Structure 1
Amino acid sequence: MFRPNNYCSSTNDVETELPPHREMGQLSFDEKKYLLAVERGDLASVRRILQRAAEAQFIDINCVDPLGRSALLIAIDNENFEMIELLLKFQVETKDALLHAISEEYVEAVELLLDYEDMIHKPGEPYSWEAISPDSGAFTSDITPLTLAAHRNNYEIIKILLDRGATLPTPHDARCGCAACVTSRHEDSLRHSRSRINSYRALASPSLISLSSKDPILTAFELSWELRRLSFLEHEFKCEYQELRRRCQDFATALLDHTRGSSELEVMLNHEAGCPSYEHGERMHLKRLKLAIRYRQKKFVAHPNVQQLLASIWYEGLPGFRRKNIVLQTLEIMRIGLLFPFLSILYILAPHSTAGRFMRKPFIKFICHSASYFTFLFLLILASQRIESTMAAWFGAEGFAKYLSDDTATKRGANPTFVEWLVLSWVMGLVWSEIKQLWDVGLQEYSSDMWNVIDFVTNALYVATISLRAVAYYLVQKEVEKNPNIALLPREQWDTWDPMLLSEGLFAAANIFSSLKLVYIFSVNPYLGPIQVSLSRMVMDILKFFFLYILVLFAFSCGLNQLLWYYADLEKKVCLESRPTTGNRIDQDACVVWRRFSNLFETMQTLFWAAFGLIDLENFELAGIKGFTRFWGLLMFGSYSVINVVVLLNLLIAMMNHSYQSISVRSEKADTEWKFARSRLWISYFEEGGTAPPPFNIIPSPKSVVSLATWISEKVCTLSRSVRKRKLYTVKRKALQQNEREGRHQSIMRNLVRRYITDEQRKSENQGVTEDDVNEIKQDISAFRCELLEILRGSGVNTSVASGHQGPGGRKNRHKERRLMKGFNLGTFESDHMSEIQTNHTFLSHLSMESTLESQSVSGSLRSKNSTFGRLTSLVRPVKTTKNNWGALVEAAKKASSKNLLDRLETKSEISPSPTSSGKKKREEYAKARYVCVSLPGDPDKMRTDSTDYSSDNCKSSEDKIEIDVDNKMHQNYVIRSNEDGIPNLPGVQPIRSCPRGWF
């Protein structure tokens, strides 16, 4: 038969250019049988192949299938423990098999591979999973067995690895500047970041935290806070870090679900490393809960168990208060609030008395402080309404009332009134309270609370008001020495920046902040508290929006001021010329309009008030303005109005609506946020100090005097021998108590961890039947079938009647076997098929030329377009990759794996080397081959292929199809039709039988 000269060479060229991932799938027939036996769990066949390979080396026992799986990985995927043992017995390379076993969470295989690794590993050399090439490995180089086990959150595997000494180092900080981090970041920044994420994903594993940490709750808190910080540093991976942070929070919260009593909860929430642990009956300091608040563990703080404990502490001073109705509760609160001055005085005089201990209860302390603050607000109202003059008028002292009114309204540097002295005393008490809080908690924690920042601003305004009043008094006294009448100067003649006027402005602003502080007090209410949380979120949205709004406002203000400043100056001149001093009539409009655009600051004010509709178009009717300038100014003003009103204000509304919807009053998140805010307020009243409310807290109490004297005596008498002995005894006693209480805390934490892990394992076991369970059953059935056939074969039973070597069944398993046996390769269509198709096309082109020369008897039919054989030249043409009739055949050839079919036919041709054998013998050979039938008489577009084995004896005679056979190789990419008159005398062209009509 004719064969092109370049046919073999082109094929060889294509094979030498295969990429590595395709060479990986080029397996011999015996290697395919070997991997297929492992896939099916045929232990006996695998043992025979391995024994034969050990003697003859006819296969590579470490070969991999086209998907990159070695025999060991296939056995791990199928969870065939006996197969894994057999493969390791014959020293199959493990490579990253341990990582695959961990990924599949196959505990038995992990233990076996670890033992095998300990047996073959040599000190100083890398482990098997470390020696594998990064390009061929399924896992990155930073993935260690412990890291992968932590990613899978498998308790058993993590326990096995930790018992063998595996460690997981803490990754370097994101801003680390060490040589290793700088080099890694310079070589591959993406890999450096992903490596850090993988490390933190492992560290955030609940199972790893439970097994490696003595204090899992503290570890979860610290790791959650670190992940929060990283989410702000690496914005590209913010979602990943936030997800890991939520996992840590959920783990810490889940441990609370397993507390079985108040004693366990109290020990857990009051524990702090290095400090004496809590004993039942002591005053709770709640160090661990304060730490949770500082690390913003909102789910932990809002947990029902924690809230129940806090509520029991909060209402400790008033038993049965929560069971009363709203009227009785209101009366009880009013009674305590009215008595707060007397309770405060009793506490100062006798802090350890019954009234003093009652005053120290958190809820009582809160009521007294709230009553004190309400009194302070009432005094502010009295000061703003000049109550002294009003009271004097009410009681008939008209002259005194007029004196007080004139003194307050017109006198510069006036002395404080009685109400202002009371306000001053409250301000001093509030400032002292904030100073003590700042000293106790530190600047960082103090500034983390927004309400503390508001208190600081409010107190700063009050202090500035008092200072300016003092400055005004001092300046006036100096001026009175020169001119006694200067103090009676009317207010309208004061300087614009007079200290008295400045103090009044700051005092008014401080009053606003003081009144808004009531929102913080109302956060304890279950109805107003969630609204306060939503309002806080909206304030943050307003601050974000304000930045963009100021930018737009500044941009248009610059433009309008540059355009209209000259005409504003003309309006100012008109206003000055029309004053009474000149004898002209005053132009009210000119004296108002010129300020609108006189400078940048005034222009910004004008545009700001324009957003509320307070600026009309008459303000652009300036003196001397031209038409074009007026039009251009109105156009700019209109553009600003559209951007500000239509775009920005609607954007603000959308942002506020989104914040409100995200923390809806009735949602679970709103409840969590409110309980967290309420807990912060409750915790602030659980402290020992700060019992007396302002202004009583500025009065030195005997308790404070005694504490100060004790501190001074300890500092002075530190060298005394008796003092040193007493301190040494105290230190030893505290150390013993600390060890005992630390052991109690460790015991409780172990119990919580054990309950948590047991519950998680029970949940995983109760998930129901999964696909993995079904595949495991299929694999067991397949392995049992192979073992049974082997036993029967060994007993002399004829097993040839068995239904062939079938796999475990299932679509996925059939796909795996098909890919293995048919040489499925991971590559593009061009790399895997185009070279072969082009080779076939070249060969068939030569075949067509030779057929034309040898078929002179049918030359007339070749000229006829209507005859079947006459279209031979149009049918035999290059295969196109476009979507046409022959494109369907190309796709069919690809799916049917024509290369494997050619190989199989080439193997069969060794039986009958002569291409000129009889038709009967040829049909017998073809009966063993795989036929691909194509419907030709019908529509060419409706062509179909099938890879089913059909015997030629079952096919009916047909003159519609012929088959091209070149050296016993059947090419499926082309179909040549014969005419009805006969078959062309072409070498290698044989009639074939048509297959049943039902399947093509």
Structure 2
Amino acid sequence: MGKDQGTKKEPDVSIDMKKIIQMPNLPKPLTTDEKKYLVAVERGDLPTVRRILQRAGKKKNFDVNCVDPLGRGSMSIAIDGENLEMLELLVIMGVKTKDSLLQAINVGFVEAVELLLEHEELVHKDGEPYSWEMVDVNTSVFTPDMTPLILAAHRNNYEILKILLDRGATLPMPHDVRCGCAECIKESDEDPLRFSASRINQYRALASPCLIALSSSDPILTAFELSWDLRNLAFSEQESKTEYMELRRQCQQLAVSLLDQTRSSHELAVILNHDPENPPYEDGEPMKLARLELAIAYKQKKFVAHPNIQQLLASIWYEGLPGFRRKSLLQKAIDLGTIVVLFPFYCMLYMIAPNTSTGKLMRKPFMKFLIHSSSYLFFLLLLILVSQRAEIHLEEILVASFGSDAQKLAFYEDQKNQRGNGPMILECFVGFYVLGFIWEETAEMWTEGIRKYLRNMWNFIEFMRNSLYIGVFVLRVVAYIQQRTQIAADPATACIPREEWDAFDPQLIAEGLFAAANVFSALKLVHMFSINPHLGPLQISLGRMVIDIVKFFLSTHWSCLLLHAV
């Protein structure tokens, strides 16, 4: 023959023996006796099963632990049929239980669980694995991390959970998602998917309503804390966000369901005022609503919006004004208008005689809100008057209407001196208000703590407002000293027009900061409008819209920088 047209290379079929995947041990074909045995178990034929097992014990002619093509052994078949007598016979005759306990828990067969637990306590030796831990991982229905308590919690079976907890079963807390211990690193390297699924299984068990009710002395607090942990996990592990958020909703629903069980205002008040660090709430004591504040901190919206809580809050809110909610719109407007107009009188009366009936009425939430709102609206009115230089315009009108020629001449000459002027009366009133705001924010920070203070985003706006006003005050002082020094050296500098001032003159910068501070002051109105049932939801929409605008601005700005760099 001629030369070969080419040499065909054989593929390299060498295999690294260390990387060979071991196939699971599939069930062996059943013999005739084994088939009769499993059929008798399924039919519940006790005498036949007893006779077969006795003969098998003597002759050893077949495996009593055999399984059918579906992987079901005799115990699994008895559990599926909920045949307790058959199961008891199989245990007595020495059939291996394997993961029968987990299967009994899975189907909710309480009597079988008790039987298998008693058997496990008799045969188990310290230091050795339990029967459900010795099953082949490749053929087992359950994952290796599954324990009786975890599975019972997944099924939310109250009876089985109580049986397990009474026997001392425990559920260890899962490690933190950022944990770097040797155990977590090892499990993550071996099988990341199984490691993540194991964490989800543990948290699914912890979120079981029955487990929380049986194991926690404060189920509502446990539901709050676990809900918060699940929220953080959802953002840390985006791949499992759906599962964690579903478990979070389950915890939130548990707190709401517990709140549904309240039958009176007293029970509701006891729950909402419960504080483990303080004595129990008693009737007649002022309500601190510690548990409600905790719900707000943990963002338990359904709990806070519960009708029972809203009814209690409404009764507290309108305390001291009986029948106000049932009045007509005109009567409400008259009452509110009277309080708004007379708010300086109420404030003075409270400072002078706080223990009078009117002074005590001032401590009620609704009255406090009206007085504070009226005071803040008056502050905004002062800002508008200061911005429009209302004092000068009013003085100009009075001089033009009632002043003599000499007074008119003096007024217009005085208006030419635009530098070196001190604060006006309205500006002094604004300064007193700002001092009150600073004192209020400092007291709140001292009372609640810096961490709780920073959780409220409105506090950042108020902090910026106060900081800007402080900057205005400092710059105005610097400008006054600087301008008076210049005027002392050259009196003509007092009449320099504003158009010719230096661009970075302290007074001009102070006026710019004052305008920015006024914007932050006006934003507080949005916070005050949140009490309205129509404007409150719009505030939430506004906040989300602002966040989206900021995200769009940052992404656009970052894209422009990248394009410019390219």
Taking structure 2 as the reference length, the TM-score comes to 0.91
CA distance in 2, matches of 1:236, 1:253: 28
Deviation at 1:228, TM superposition (A): 1.4
Shift of 1:357: 0.9
The one-letter amino acid paired with 2:338 is R
- Does the CA contact (< 8 Å) of 1:34 and 1:46 recur in 2? yes
- Is 1:413–1:476's contact at 8 Å kept on the other side of the alignment? yes
Establish whether residue 354 from structure 1 lines up as the match of residue 360 from structure 2: no
**Distance (whole Å) between structure 1 residues aligned to residue 412 and residue 324 of structure 2:** 48
My pick for the range that moved more, 348-357 or 463-472, is 348-357
Give the match for residue 425 of structure 2.
418
Residue 263 of structure 2 is matched in structure 1 by 260
What is the deviation of 1:556?
Answer: 6.1
Q: Does 1:492 align with 2:499?
A: yes
Instruction: Select the residue among 287, 292, 316 that pairs with 2:290.
Output: 287
CA distance in 1 between partners of 2:304 and 2:411 (Å):
54
Q: Retained in 2: the 8 A contact 1:388–1:401? A: no
Matched, 1:322 2:329: no
**1:578-593 mapped onto 2 (5 Å cutoff):** none
In structure 2, do the counterparts of structure 1 residues 404 and 196 end up closer, same or farther at CA, with 3 Å as the change threshold? farther
- In the TM superposition, residue 355 of structure 1 has moved relative to its aligned partner by 2.3
CA contact (8 A) 1:389 1:402 kept: no
Show CA shifts across 1:74-129 (max 9, x none): 21122222221121111111111111111111111111111111121223322111
In structure 2, the CA distance between the partners of 1:410 and 1:36, relative to structure 1 (3 Å rule), is: farther
* Displacement after TM superposition at 1:463 (Å): 1.5
Structure 1, residues 475-514: CA drift from partner, whole Å, max 9, x if none?
2233334333333322112222221111111111111222
- CA gap of 1:86–1:404, structure 2 versus 1, over 3 A, is farther
Equivalent residue number for residue 511 of structure 1? 518
Q: What one-letter code is carried by the residue in structure 1 that aligns with 2:549?
A: I
Question: Residues 188, 422 of structure 1: CA spacing in aligned structure 2 closer, same or farther, 3 A cutoff?
Answer: same
Amino-acid identity (%): 56
Q: Quote the residue 1:274 is aligned against.
A: 277
Q: Which residue of 2 aligns with 1:46?
A: 49
Q: Is the aligned partner of 1:387 residue 2:390?
A: yes
1:454 to 454, 461, 468: 461
Give a deviation string over 1:824-864, Cα, whole Å, max 9, x none: xxxxxxxxxxxxxxxxxxxxxxxxxxxxxxxxxxxxxxxxx
1:107 corresponds, among 85, 106, 110, to: 110
Q: Which amino acid aligns with 2:442?
A: I
Following the alignment from structure 2 to structure 1, what is the Cα–Cα distance between the partners of residues 524 and 57?
A: 85
| CA distance in 1: counterparts of 2:408 and 2:275, whole angstroms | 62
- Using the TM superposition, give the Cα deviation of residue 148 of structure 1 relative to its aligned residue in structure 2, in angstroms: 0.7
Residue 69 of structure 1 aligns to a residue in which SS?
Answer: coil
Distance 1:23 1:131, change over 3 A: closer
Aligned to 2:274, what secondary structure does the other structure show? coil
Q: Distance in 1 between matches of 2:412 and 2:91?
A: 103
Q: Is the 8 A contact 2:399 2:407 kept in 1?
A: no
> Given the alignment, which residue of 201, 204, 208 partners 1:205?
208
Structure number with bigger Rg: 1
> What residue is the counterpart of 2:161 in the other structure?
158
Q: Give 1:310 deviation, angstroms.
A: 0.5
Partner of 2:9: none
In 2, the alpha carbon distance for the partners of 1:353 and 1:315 equals 19
Shift of 1:407: 6.5
- 2:338 equivalent to 1:331: no
Aligned-pair CA distance for 1:184: 2.9
1:797-816 pair list within 5 angstroms: none
Are the aligned partners of 2:25 and 2:139 in contact in 1 as well (CA < 8 Å)? no
Alignment of 1:425-440 (within 5 A): 425-440=432-447
Partner of 1:221: 224
Alpha-carbon RMSD across the aligned residues, in angstroms, is 2.2
Question: Structure 2 matches for 1:641-652, cutoff 5 A?
Answer: none
* CA deviation string 1:811-835 (max 9, x = no partner): xxxxxxxxxxxxxxxxxxxxxxxxx
Specify the code of the residue in structure 2 equivalent to 1:532.
Answer: Q
CA contact (8 A) 2:383 2:518 kept: yes
Number of aligned positions between the proteins: 542
User: Deviation at 1:186?
Assistant: 3.5
Aligned to 2:248: 245
User: Does the residue aligned with 2:280 lie in a helix, a strand or coil?
Assistant: coil
Tell me the CA shift for residue 189 of structure 1: 3.1
For residue 273 of structure 1, give the secondary structure of its aligned residue in structure 2. coil
Instruction: Name the SS for the 2:284 alignment partner.
Output: coil
Structure of higher RCO (CA pairs closer than 8 Å, 6+ residues apart): 1
Residues 349 and 412 of structure 1: CA distance in aligned 2, closer, same or farther (over 3 Å): same
**For residues 20 and 554 of structure 1, do their structure 2 counterparts lie closer, same or farther at Cα, with a shift above 3 Å needed?**
closer
TM-superposed CA distance for 1:450, in Å, is 1.8
CA distance in 1, matches of 2:409, 2:525: 35
What 5-or-longer segments of structure 1 have no aligned partner? 1-18, 560-1000
Change (3 A) 1:558 1:168: closer
Residues 880-905 of structure 1, C-alpha deviations (whole Å, 9 max, x = no match): xxxxxxxxxxxxxxxxxxxxxxxxxx
Aligned to 2:14: none
Distance 1:51 1:539 in 2: 78
Query: Aligned pair in 2 of structure 1 residues 370, 405: CA closer, same or farther (>3 Å)?
Result: farther
1:551 correspondence with 2:554: no
* Aligned counterpart, 1:642: none
Match of 2:450 in 1: 443
The match for 1:58 is: 61
Q: d(CA) in 2 for partners of 1:52 and 1:519?
A: 85
Q: Does 1:134 align with 2:137?
A: yes
SS in 2 for 1:395: helix
Note the 1:908-987 alignment, pairs <5 A.
Answer: none
Tell me how far apart the structure 1 counterparts of residues 344 and 176 of structure 2 sit (CA, whole Å).
53
| Conservation of the 8 A alpha-carbon contact between 1:252 and 1:300 | yes
SS in 2 for 1:225: helix
SS at match of 2:326: coil
The residue type paired with residue 390 of structure 1 is H
CA distance in 2, matches of 1:520, 1:392: 36
Match of 1:121 in 2: 124
Q: For residues 517-916 of structure 1, what are the structure 2 equivalents within 5 Å?
A: 517-554=524-561
Contact 1:24 1:68 in 2 (8 A): yes
Q: Tell me the amino acid that sits aligned with residue 240 of structure 2.
A: F
Contact 1:413 1:469 (C-alpha < 8 Å) held by counterparts: no
Kindly provide the CA deviation profile for residues 945-969 of structure 1, in whole angstroms up to 9, marking residues without a partner as x. xxxxxxxxxxxxxxxxxxxxxxxxx
Q: Structure 1: which amino acid aligns with 2:376?
A: Y
* In 1, Cα distance between equivalents of 2:410 and 2:296: 55
* One-letter amino acid of the counterpart of residue 86, structure 1: L
Preserved contact between residue 390 and residue 401 of structure 1 (Cα < 8 Å): no
Among 36, 42, 55, the alignment partner of 2:39 is 36
Quickly say closer, same or farther: Cα 1:350–1:23, change in 2 above 3 A.
Answer: same
Contact 1:95 1:128 (C-alpha < 8 Å) held by counterparts: yes
Moved more, 362-371 or 541-550: 541-550
In structure 2, distance between residues paired with 1:240 and 1:399: 83
Aligned CA distance change for structure 1 residues 408 and 298 (closer, same or farther; 3 Å): farther
Provide the C-alpha distance between the structure 2 equivalents of 1:234 and 1:139, rounded to a whole number of angstroms: 24
Paired amino acid for 2:508: L
Q: Distance in 1 between matches of 2:425 and 2:316?
A: 40
Counterpart position of 1:87? 90
Q: Is the 8 A contact 1:523 1:530 kept in 2?
A: yes
- Contact kept in structure 1, 2:379 and 2:430, CA below 8 Å: yes
1:189 to 187, 192, 205: 192
CA distance in 1, matches of 2:317, 2:481: 49
> How big is the shift at 1:406?
7.8
> Does structure 2 conserve the Cα–Cα contact (< 8 Å) formed by 1:411 and 1:488?
yes
AA of the residue aligned to 2:431? L
Helix, strand or coil at the partner of 1:533: helix
Q: Residue 284 of structure 1: CA displacement?
A: 0.5
Counterpart-to-counterpart distance in 2, 1:161 and 1:226: 25
